[in-house]
Homo-oligomer: A and B are copies of this chain.
Amino acid sequence: MIDAKEVAKHNTSSSCWVIIHNTVYDVTDFLSSHPGGAKAILSLAGQDATEEYDPIHPPGTLEESLQKSQILGPVDPSTIAAVTPTPSLTSSSPEKAPNNGIPPLEEQLNMDDFARTAEQVLSPKAWAYYSSASDDLLTKTHNNTAYRQILLRPRIFKDVREVDTRTIVCSTPIAFPVFVAPAAMARLAHPSGEAGIAEACGREGVLQCVSNNASLKPEQIMAGRVSGAQPAWFQLYVQEDRRKSEALLKRVDVLGFTAVVLTLDAPTPGKREADERVKNAGNTTSATSGEGVQGKGEGGGLGKALFAGTTPSLTWEDVKWLRKHTKLPIILKGLQTHEDAAMAARKEMLELGVTGIILSNHGGRAADTAPPPVYVLMEIRKYAPEVFDKLEVYVDGGIRRGTDAVKALCLGAKAVGIGRSALFGLSGYGVDGVRRVLTILREEIETTMRLLGVYSVGELGLRHINTRALDGLIYQEPQELSVGVIKAKL
């Protein structure tokens, strides 16, 4: 057993020891190759780094990176108090949080309740990473308010004793038309991380899309499923080094994923200032790639760091490359215009196995003032309605109520994704929190369908909503404007 005081002496780049889960590691040689940078480690040199290390490194990361001789042995627990504790990155013990002034789970009645609680329970850094969005949060705000401007049109005298929320997405039946959108770093919220989300989705009968930047390895996440038959999608950020992505796709095929989701809305990270203002990013490892992700130079929060290595140069040609390396259906994520929706619905793409598109602005984290997905839905309906017949169209961003989900469905969406809400459910409550988030959404969707007088998801249509408040804001092609000018000049 090693005395923590001894460990404390090795706090320089010449000799750098850290304690993680009561084991002492000599990481001196590893400093230069640490994907998150040497500085991130040195700031914890000679100390117990468990709390900093744990939520952002998949279990086993360290063991894989070090040689046996560098694993020095157990620390003497009676001596560890001597080491100055670092401030906690996540809440020290999320499982106990409800006892620490966090409301009982049954008092969380809606998505906003969960967000408020998450802000309390998460470390400032984790909260900043989850809640931040680009620039002035205009797109995030649009996401959260656009659905609210659409009115419902409830019909009377409909027998709504039984309503059926089930649907089929990408050939997979789900209990209600919701999926958990890919969101990185779930272990910042809770140790169970993305595996906990997997379990919750399984129990509630919905689909999870696993993030390429998850804080657990795909294998670990898939192990969280309730059964081997539980469907899941894998989100891919194509790496500069294509071979890495190809290797990853192989694992994905093997692990039982049911579709590959290619992210296209963030060829470069947006500017998330709240995230940047919280210091000390860079000590982050993406679980999937096994590689460090580091922002270059000044600024750059956790969000920016996670983008490192992602290629900014994908083109439509790359769908062929993707098809070569996976047998799974392909879903394109991040479309924001009717032109791109129509491009995705071309015969060529359908033949390559593109089966769906996710209208998304990356949760407001890419281009600020990008349109909310519901605008894009309406734009496609205006200019390229045939897309809905050729592809399944999904949306994510801003779904906070069952009414939001139902409105998206009325406009043609097959299902809606929730990102932050799933993470907020996980924060402080773990699996049960995510389940409650999903249950609330399902119940709200059911109530909305009943009040609309609708029996099944497939019935929902344009006649159930009034979109006038948004109609005048949907993109109009410039030539139409010119026509107006010509007329005006006559």
CB contact under 8 A between A267 and B450, given known A154-B336, A157-B318, A476-B471: yes
**Residues of B close to A451: CB separation below 8 A:** 265-268, 270, 366-367, 370
A403 contacts B by Cβ under 8 Å: yes
Docked Cα-Cα span, A270 to B450, in Å, equals 10
Residue interface mask A451-490, B partner, CB < 8 A = 1: 1110000000011001011011111111011001100110
A165 contacts B by Cβ under 8 Å: no
B136:A401 contact, CB within 8 angstroms: yes
**Residues of B close to A385: CB separation below 8 A:** 485
A277 contacts B by Cβ under 8 Å: yes
Which residues of chain A in 321-374 are interfacial with respect to chain B, using CB atoms and an 8 Å cutoff? 332, 334-337, 339-340, 343, 361, 366-371
Nearest chain B residue, comparing its CB with the CB of A266: B451
**Residues of B close to A309: CB separation below 8 A:** none
Which residues of chain A in 187-243 are interfacial with respect to chain B, using CB atoms and an 8 Å cutoff? none
A152:B367 contact, CB within 8 angstroms: yes
**Residues of B close to A316: CB separation below 8 A:** 157
Residue interface mask A139-165, B partner, CB < 8 A = 1: 000000000101111111111110000
Q: How far is the CB of A407 from chain B (nearest CB, A)?
A: 8
A82 contacts B by Cβ under 8 Å: no
A156:B335 contact, CB within 8 angstroms: yes
A315:B158 contact, CB within 8 angstroms: yes
A22 contacts B by Cβ under 8 Å: no
Nearest chain B residue, comparing its CB with the CB of A469: B473
Q: How far is the CB of A103 from chain B (nearest CB, A)?
A: 11
Size of A's binding interface in residues, CB under 8 A: 88
CB-contact partner of A159 in B312, B469, B471, under 8 A: B312
CB-contact partner of A475 in B135, B336, B468, B475, under 8 A: B468
CB contact under 8 A between A106 and B298, given known A315-B159, A401-B368, A452-B367: yes
A447 contacts B by Cβ under 8 Å: yes
Q: How far is the CB of A33 from chain B (nearest CB, A)?
A: 26
A444:B156 contact, CB within 8 angstroms: no
B481:A160 contact, CB within 8 angstroms: no
Nearest chain B residue, comparing its CB with the CB of A470: B468
Q: How far is the CB of A369 from chain B (nearest CB, A)?
A: 5
A153:B475 contact, CB within 8 angstroms: yes
Docked Cα-Cα span, A106 to B135, in Å, equals 16
A264 contacts B by Cβ under 8 Å: yes
A447:B369 contact, CB within 8 angstroms: no
**Residues of B close to A26: CB separation below 8 A:** none
B477:A488 contact, CB within 8 angstroms: yes
Docked Cα-Cα span, A265 to B152, in Å, equals 13
CB contact under 8 A between A159 and B337, given known A268-B450, A270-B447: no
B403:A155 contact, CB within 8 angstroms: no
Residue interface mask A67-84, B partner, CB < 8 A = 1: 000000000000000000
A109 contacts B by Cβ under 8 Å: yes
A99 contacts B by Cβ under 8 Å: no
A125 contacts B by Cβ under 8 Å: no
A residues contacting B by CB (< 8 A) are 106-107, 109-110, 135-136, 138, 148, 150-161, 264-271, 273, 276-277, 298-299, 311-316, 318, 332, 334-337, 339-340, 343, 361, 366-371, 375, 382-383, 385, 401, 403, 443-444, 447-448, 450-453, 462-463, 466, 468-469, 471-478, 480-481, 484-485, 488-489
Q: Which 5 A-B pairs have the closest CB atoms?
A: A367-B451, A159-B313, A156-B264, A462-B478, A268-B450
